[in-house]
Structure formats: structure tokens, C-alpha cells
Copies of this chain bind each other. A is one copy, B any other.
Amino acid sequence: MKIAVFGTGMVGPSVAGALVKLGHDVVVGTRDPQATLTRTGAGPTGGIPFAQWHAEHSDVSLATFAEAAAGSELIVNATNGDGSLAALRAAGAANLAGKVIMDLANPLDFSQGFPPSLNPVNTDSLGEQIQRAFPGARVVKTLNTMNARLMVDPGSVAGGDHSVFVSGDDAEAKTVVAGLLADLGHRDIIDLGGISTARGTEMLLPIWLRLMGAFGNADFNFKIAR
């Protein structure tokens, strides 16, 4: 499948690399490709400079959000939550129409310090905001409840015995996403319902952050025991 991955922090390159390994045709979308390639420091969420990662992944191309979206069937939103709507607007509604947007972002609000709170929260979610902003796209919220490594290597914790959630209004889009999740190694894929259920998964972040604090690492995941 032709897939655009938006975001050049920790999550985007991790997911892009894994999708290429699965045989997909992957382009990373960014606001300004030249600026992204000349960035030498780690991104705001850590990781190696993008140019170094890109040199090791010549099979992944780099393009503007609009170019990347135009040539793809599915878009992975791995931008920071506070930049997601701007990135998708830069891609352009016409380039998103009819396409699946796999939304991995969390609306973390660092304005009150660490650990961050959420905005929106409780009676709205980033997943819903994206779906409302791009009614022609088919948004599926998923993978936002675990760290970047686990997203693409679920077997690295507890033998992969944990859960991933999908929320979205379009059943076919959820089937496409569930297929990708299964290819990545996820075994317990729970369909929560429509995109408004993204409120539930985004609101897992506050406990996720505190578990990371308690354990001193991010090598854990939620499992729904039943």
C-alpha cells in the first residue's frame, strides 16, 4: 500500500521503517523537507536526527505533507498532538478525501508542566477534532496508548500479550487498520466503536505517564484481561 507517515520525531520514523519492512511504499511527510534534513539535534521527543535516520533508510522518501498525502492511500498521523491539525491542513483536504487517516497522536498539553494534561479532553478528543475538520477522510484512532517501539514490535514486552484499540466511524477503514496492526504483530485488537471512543484511549495517557514515572521506563502496555 502507498502510505504517508506524517511526523519526524520518535514515532514517525519508527512506524515508517516498520511499514517499509512489511513491503509498503512509504513516504514521510514533513512541513519543510529541507529543514528536516538539516536538523542536527534530536527532535523534541528525542531520537536521532532525522537526516541520520534517513541515510539509513534510503527506501523511505521525504516530501511535504501535501505531496506525501497526494500520492498515498493511507496517512499515518504521527505528529505531535498540538501540531496535528496544522499538519493535516497543510496536506490539504482534497489530498485526504476518502483516505484512511491512522491517528497515533495524543493532545498533550505541557502548559501546566510535567506530567502534561490533555487538551481537548473528556467531552472531546483529538481524533474527533481531526474527523470533524476533514469529514471526507476516514479517521481511525489507534496505537496512541503505547511507546513507539511497542507500536512496531509488540512482542518486545510480555511476549506481545497486551491490547491495542481502534476507534473510528468507518468500518472498512478500521478493517484496513486492523490488518496493518496484525501485520505489525498485534494480536489483541479491540474495536471500541466510533471515533468518539478516542476520548477513552487518549485519556489513558495520564496513567501511562504516571506508570512510566513509577517504573522508570516505558516498556509496558495495557492489556484488557477478560
With a cutoff of 8 Å between Cβ atoms, the chain B residues found around residue A222 in the complex are 222-225
Query: Nearest residue in B to A159 (C-beta to C-beta)?
Result: B225
Q: Say yes or no: is A135 at the interface (Cβ < 8 Å to chain B).
A: no
Q: Say yes or no: is A206 at the interface (Cβ < 8 Å to chain B).
A: yes
- Assess whether A225 is in contact with B121, with CB atoms less than 8 Å apart: no
- Assess whether A157 is in contact with B122, with CB atoms less than 8 Å apart: no
- Assess whether A190 is in contact with B214, with CB atoms less than 8 Å apart: yes
Query: Nearest residue in B to A167 (C-beta to C-beta)?
Result: B210
Q: Say yes or no: is A53 at the interface (Cβ < 8 Å to chain B).
A: no
Q: Tell me how many chains of this kind the complex includes.
A: 2
Task: Give the one of A121, A200, A201, A222 with max B CB within 10 A.
Answer: A200
Q: Say yes or no: is A117 at the interface (Cβ < 8 Å to chain B).
A: yes
Q: Give bound CA distance, A191 to B213, whole Å.
A: 11
Query: How many residues on chain A are close to B (CB under 8 Å)?
Result: 38
- Assess whether A161 is in contact with B225, with CB atoms less than 8 Å apart: yes
Q: Say yes or no: is A42 at the interface (Cβ < 8 Å to chain B).
A: no
Task: Give the one of A211, A215, A225 with max B CB within 10 A.
Answer: A225
- Assess whether A209 is in contact with B200, with CB atoms less than 8 Å apart: yes
CB distance from A162 to the nearest CB of B (A): 4
- Assess whether A206 is in contact with B203, with CB atoms less than 8 Å apart: yes
Residues of A participating in the B interface, judged by any CB pair closer than 8 Å: 112, 117-118, 121-123, 157-158, 161-162, 165, 190-193, 197, 199-201, 203-204, 206-211, 213-215, 219-226
